[in-house]
Structure 1
Amino acid sequence: MCGITGIIQFGTSPSSMYAPLERMNQALAHRGPDDEGIWVEGPVALGHRRLSIIDLSSAGHQPMQSPDGRYVLVFNGEIYNFRTLKAELKDYPFRSGSDTEVILAAYAQWGIDCLKKLNGMYALALWDRQEQTLLLARDHLGIKPLYLYEAPQQILFASEVRSLLASGMVPRKINPAGISDYLRYQTVHAPQTMVQGVRMLEPGHYLLLSMDGRVEERAYWQPLGTTVPANKLDLASARQKVREALLTTIERQMIADVPFGAFLSGGIDSSSIVALMSQVSTTAVKTFSVTFAEEAFSEAPFARMIAEKYQTEHHEIRLSPDDFLHTIPRALQAMDHVSGDGPNTYIVAGATRKAGIKMALSGLGGDELFAGYPIFGRSKSLERLGWLNVLPVGLRQILAGVLAQSSSKVAIRKVAEVLGLPQIEPYGAYPLSRQSWPEMTIAQLAPGLEKTPNAVAAILEIIQALPGFDAAPLLSKISAAEMSTYMQNILLRDSDQMSMAHALEVRVPFLDHELVDLVMGISDAVKLPGAGPKPLLVAAMGEWLPDAIVNRPKMGFTLPYELWMKGALREFCAGHLAQLGERPFFAAAALQKLWQDFLRGHPGVKWSHLWSLVVLDEWLENNGLH
């Protein structure tokens, strides 16, 4: 796990790229404290910061060249099947035990098609000195980020936005489309970012740049991009196949040459990961849990239950709300790209790293893959309400207007918006599911930006055009939507930036693309046959998952942000909201009204929505955007 940087610049001497590349590399020092390297030749400059996980020797140094000198690679991530691929590449003169060198060998053998053979999380840049081409690629599910800035005669790329800004070659201007997207969803969806001119290479995509000016950008994998022939599996067969796939995935992802462990909350997902790790590990698994003094809300007993069952080396990180409060400034400073969430991950990752762990497995992705969120059940219910489409659209829209005026609650307003859609159906209604503010409020806060196209709707149109979409079960369509929006652009981004702030690598076994392909093809009747959380995953885990974990009560603990924002953080919030009102695109009067309504306890103003605006201004200030 590392950080990568690069500059492609025409018409200048190579020496002019050293200084900006060094600044870019230095901005990523937290991602790779173990080693650094720079390689410059002709129009290409490549940089790397290393966090050593596999092959800790100097043989794993990057940028790495192939033995014949033709290829030069910088790579961030891990290739879990590198040993299997290495066995296939018998004729390559390997000089190290690293997964990085396997990528060089695979590209030399198979070209771009090697991306389809890689199983892992990665962002990479590979320069072909003979063909004068640069390949940029990102892993299937978008676990590792890669940001690009393109201008006449130059392209810059890096693992973080801050690295691009540190080059001094990227204008620090706000992207208005990013503002509207953030107001809707508390994030900015790829390929857009909050910085004008900076974009993300999308998950499962590659970009091949030739020095003669040709550019090829394509997807090599997408969820539902191929029809997986698993729809006829019954529960018993699906259970067995999923169990086998999970064990294979865990076994691959436990390969490391450093101490590692797992996050353990005591929920179904993290408990499953620890149970699976215990099946293949020859030593006690190290587990880490955050616990709270408020016993009524603490998950500690459930985490301890799993730790005791599998005899793990368990570590409890006992925190109070004040611990979070005091950590918030550092967490916001660590935020590479603005997000409405993230401090929780920052704290857990920091404590895990202090315990001497450099790599940890996480249960992230389990809800998206195994239909764990309420949106999955609601989608099936909405599917059964298709009869409402017999009502004239005009009549439904009138009813929607009346309903919207009847309550200030966000949930009621969302129901009204669904009712007023031209066609009531689950997939079409999805963009409303995670939207924070209705368009009317966005128009008040940032006049004119409500007309910006909805990024989630645009992503769903792309998914809908995939060859496997029509044959896919409804729940798999919702999974694809969740993975391509909320998961990629909030959960994975926060996991990466907050863990790498502490130089901690986080692996996410539920997002193995082979496992995803399998589960996405399983029918709704098998995946969600009735009541109970994630029944397919629970069935696959069988005796490895205690009933007490499956049937545990839902925990209601939330940090007291609302009290903080009216108390210890009041001045901080008020200052940032006032400053945000002076920035382009925002209406100061609307922001102040929102703030005053919040202080008065208006039921239609949620603390999380206001906090996201405070975080936005803090991020804009920290990065000098205007």
Structure 2
Amino acid sequence: MCGISGIVGPMSDYAVPVGQMVQAQRHRGPDAHAVYCDAQVGLGHNRLSIIDLHETANQPFHSSCGRYVMVFNGEIYNYRELKSRLFGHPFRTNSDTEVLVELYSKYGTEMLEWLNGMFAFAIWDKSERRLFCARDRFGVKPFYYAIHQGSLYFASEIKALHAAGVEKNIDQTVLADYIAKGSYGMPDESFWSGIKQLPGGCTLSFEPSRGQVELKSYYDFVSRVQHTAQLHSEAELKAAYHPLLHDAVSLRFVADVPVGFNLSGGLDSSLLLAFVNAANPDKGEQIEAFTFYTGDPNYDELPWVELLLEQEKNPLNRVKLSVDELPRLAEEVAKFQDEPFGGFPTIAYSGIFRQAREKGVKVLLDGQGMDEAWAGYDYYRSPASQSLVQGTKSPLTRPAVFEADFLGAGRNVSYPKPFDSELLNLQYRDIFYTKIPRALRFNDRVSMQHSVELREPFLDYRLVEFGFAQEQKWKIRNQEGKWYLRQFAQEVVPKRLSLAPKRPLQTPQREWLRGELRDWADSHIQQLAQRDFIRGSELSKEWEAYQKGLSDNSFYVWQWINLNIILNTNN
């Protein structure tokens, strides 16, 4: 896990702006940093050493033939197996970085379909004077870019582009969609005007002589799931799925540094725990677990987590989110997020990575991805409920608080529906447009804020494709989501946990904003009320109603506070 950056185009000096980008992303890679400059290109890298800790694996990394130079963020989990495709190559390192650049040198873009991992990389072809970039299938690793003064600028984080001189202007359309619909933008967008994302499963090419960005998709998820076998019995499902799940978790332990994992009290964490220890049968006491809690029994999953670990050897690190610390932490996390983010749970999650780093654990595994692949959310079972926040019934947003001219920049947000099944279309939306992209962005920033690598074994593309492709009866039965996983889990975790209902991983955000944090919230809301795109009287009315308890969600109140913090932070 690292930070990449670069500039390609007609510049006289790349070292200074690329150096500024490297400095802005120093938290992403504190172990080494370097800049490569040549005619028409400057590449920067911040390294968080995970595989092959020796300095010979530092980047920018040059191919053995000398034609290519690469900066790479992420991990290629199956890089050892891929070495067989480079038979006879005299490897200089034991890194996945070298395997990646040599695969490209020998096979070109064909090698993308062989990669199992999370990645965003850029390769400069010295011969063709051409930059080639790619991002993993689901966009686990970030890649932002902009055309500025005729050159292509790219980086792992938006702040690096701003540090190099790219203009800092909010994208009014994306912001209006967020305020009105709760959308966090489309896969190719950011909240900043002129700054784009390379969508997951896509490549980017840029030749300075032409000055145009060329995007291509290399991952056809729809076609792949349509050609994935639908199995007809629990025995068949288990025979196919169990080895995939075991392999996906085992691969995420490829590292030369300590690896731990995050736990909540739900089904997904139960499975993660079971397969973490199955992959490491004699190392349970060395693989540490981390969980957060707030001290509120109405929300905390700590008792469930402790129950999960009752018969296991894994040490448990309990990380408390204190209401007294929250105002400071909210400001701190905002500086690393660069864009609106997901409220108090994201802030609590940040504390897990802080503690992991303090204990010397540089890699954490997480259970993201099961709900989307196996239809775990409540609205999958109730099509009339389309809320993207689990467990709420009232409207998520309050657009009437904002001036009509401001909201007029927004769109009628809609998503592709490539399948005949409404359930599959909802799952597809969540994987590529809403739930997963949002969570991955939040989580990448809070993990890298503390220089810790986050790995998502359940987002192994083989697992996602397999689960997504199965018939609805294996996902939803008797108004219960993830039905097959619950049956499967009874063999590996206590029955009382595998049958537990889906619970949103939450904090007392709603109560704290009405109670202990009311003055803090009011301060931000009053600041926001002074901005020219706000209808002050309407804002006051909604805020007063919220304080009286007339809402079952705090999403829109967090929007107001978060927006004010982001605007203040980026002035």
Structure-2 separation of matches of 1:364 and 1:440: 25
Deviations along 1:479-529, one digit per CA (max 9) or x if unpaired, are 111112222332111110011100111101111112112122111112223
User: Which deviates more, 493-502 or 169-178?
Assistant: 169-178
Match of 2:312 in 1: 310
- Aligned AA (1:135): F
Q: Select the residue among 373, 386, 404 that pairs with 1:447.
A: 404
1:345 aligns with 2:349: yes
- Aligned AA (1:76): N
Deviations along 1:61-80, one digit per CA (max 9) or x if unpaired, are 00000112111100111111
Contact in 1 for aligned 2:369/2:436 (Cα 8 Å): no
Alignment of 1:16-31 (within 5 A): 16-31=13-28
Q: Which has the larger radius of gyration?
A: 1
Contact in 1 for aligned 2:370/2:376 (Cα 8 Å): yes
Q: Select the residue among 345, 366, 384 that pairs with 1:362.
A: 366
Structure-2 separation of matches of 1:59 and 1:174: 41
- Superposition TM-score, scaled by structure 1 size: 0.84
Match of 2:65 in 1: 68
1:124 Cα deviation after fit = 0.8
Match of 2:424 in 1: 476
Q: CA 1:545/1:474 → structure 2, altered by over 3 Å: closer, same or farther? A: farther
Match of 2:435 in 1: 487
Alignment of 1:394-543 (within 5 A): 441-442=398-399, 444-452=401-409, 454=411, 456-457=413-414, 460-461=415-416, 463-464=417-418, 469-470=419-420, 473-543=421-491
Q: CA 1:79/1:449 → structure 2, altered by over 3 Å: closer, same or farther? A: same
1:237 Cα deviation after fit = 1.2
1:210 aligns with 2:207: yes
Q: Select the residue among 169, 176, 179 that pairs with 1:180.
A: 176
1:615 aligns with 2:556: no
1:166 aligns with 2:183: no
Match of 1:544 in 2: 492
- Aligned AA (2:354): G
- Aligned AA (1:82): Y
Contact in 1 for aligned 2:74/2:141 (Cα 8 Å): yes
Q: CA 1:339/1:92 → structure 2, altered by over 3 Å: closer, same or farther? A: same
1:172 Cα deviation after fit = 1.3
Contact in 2 for aligned 1:5/1:157 (Cα 8 Å): yes
- Aligned AA (2:359): A
Alignment of 1:207-356 (within 5 A): 207-213=204-210, 215-226=213-224, 227-281=226-280, 282-284=282-284, 285-295=287-297, 297-324=299-326, 327-341=329-343, 342-356=346-360
- Aligned AA (2:290): F
Q: CA RMSD in A?
A: 2.7
Between Structure 1 and Structure 2, how many residues are aligned? 563
Structure-1 separation of matches of 2:506 and 2:139: 28
User: Which deviates more, 70-79 or 182-191?
Assistant: 182-191
1:257 Cα deviation after fit = 0.4
- Aligned AA (2:402): L
- Aligned AA (2:438): I
Contact in 2 for aligned 1:188/1:489 (Cα 8 Å): no
Match of 2:521 in 1: 573
- Aligned AA (1:224): V
Give secondary structure in 1 for the equivalent of 2:557.
helix
Structure-2 separation of matches of 1:308 and 1:572: 39
Contact in 2 for aligned 1:6/1:46 (Cα 8 Å): yes
1:128 aligns with 2:119: no
Q: CA 1:519/1:559 → structure 2, altered by over 3 Å: closer, same or farther? A: closer
- Aligned AA (1:175): D
Q: CA 1:561/1:305 → structure 2, altered by over 3 Å: closer, same or farther? A: closer
1:451 Cα deviation after fit = 4.4
- Aligned AA (1:365): G
Deviations along 1:320-345, one digit per CA (max 9) or x if unpaired, are 44454553333333323221322121
Structure-1 separation of matches of 2:388 and 2:298: 35
- Aligned AA (1:623): N
Give secondary structure in 2 for the equivalent of 1:52.
coil
- Superposition TM-score, scaled by structure 2 size: 0.91
Structure-2 separation of matches of 1:566 and 1:298: 19
Q: CA 1:607/1:306 → structure 2, altered by over 3 Å: closer, same or farther? A: closer
Deviations along 1:115-160, one digit per CA (max 9) or x if unpaired, are 1111111111111111111012111011111111113511111111
Contact in 1 for aligned 2:387/2:393 (Cα 8 Å): no
- Aligned AA (2:53): L
Give secondary structure in 1 for the equivalent of 2:99.
helix
Contact in 2 for aligned 1:275/1:310 (Cα 8 Å): no
User: Which deviates more, 478-487 or 529-538?
Assistant: 529-538
Contact in 1 for aligned 2:377/2:502 (Cα 8 Å): no
Structure-1 separation of matches of 2:279 and 2:140: 24
Unaligned residue ranges in structure 2 (runs of 5+): none
1:151 aligns with 2:112: no
Match of 1:398 in 2: none
Q: CA 1:553/1:118 → structure 2, altered by over 3 Å: closer, same or farther? A: closer
Structure-2 separation of matches of 1:130 and 1:91: 24
Unaligned residue ranges in structure 1 (runs of 5+): 383-414, 416-428
1:43 Cα deviation after fit = 1.1
Structure-1 separation of matches of 2:551 and 2:58: 54
Q: CA 1:20/1:588 → structure 2, altered by over 3 Å: closer, same or farther? A: farther
Structure-1 separation of matches of 2:413 and 2:461: 22
Give secondary structure in 2 for the equivalent of 1:127.
strand
Q: Select the residue among 573, 583, 603 that pairs with 2:550.
A: 603
Contact in 1 for aligned 2:6/2:154 (Cα 8 Å): yes
User: Which deviates more, 317-326 or 340-349?
Assistant: 317-326
- Aligned AA (2:9): Q
Give secondary structure in 1 for the equivalent of 2:376.
coil
Contact in 2 for aligned 1:321/1:560 (Cα 8 Å): no
Q: CA 1:522/1:193 → structure 2, altered by over 3 Å: closer, same or farther? A: same
Q: CA 1:500/1:445 → structure 2, altered by over 3 Å: closer, same or farther? A: same
Q: CA 1:436/1:572 → structure 2, altered by over 3 Å: closer, same or farther? A: farther
Deviations along 1:69-108, one digit per CA (max 9) or x if unpaired, are 1111001111111111112211333211111111101111
Give secondary structure in 1 for the equivalent of 2:310.
helix
Q: CA 1:431/1:256 → structure 2, altered by over 3 Å: closer, same or farther? A: closer
Contact in 2 for aligned 1:228/1:517 (Cα 8 Å): no
Match of 1:8 in 2: 8
Alignment of 1:182-201 (within 5 A): 182-183=178-179, 184-185=181-182, 187-201=184-198
Structure-1 separation of matches of 2:536 and 2:434: 29
Contact in 1 for aligned 2:398/2:556 (Cα 8 Å): no
1:602 Cα deviation after fit = 6.1
Structure-1 separation of matches of 2:131 and 2:393: 39
Q: CA 1:96/1:571 → structure 2, altered by over 3 Å: closer, same or farther? A: same
1:271 Cα deviation after fit = 1.6
1:439 Cα deviation after fit = 11
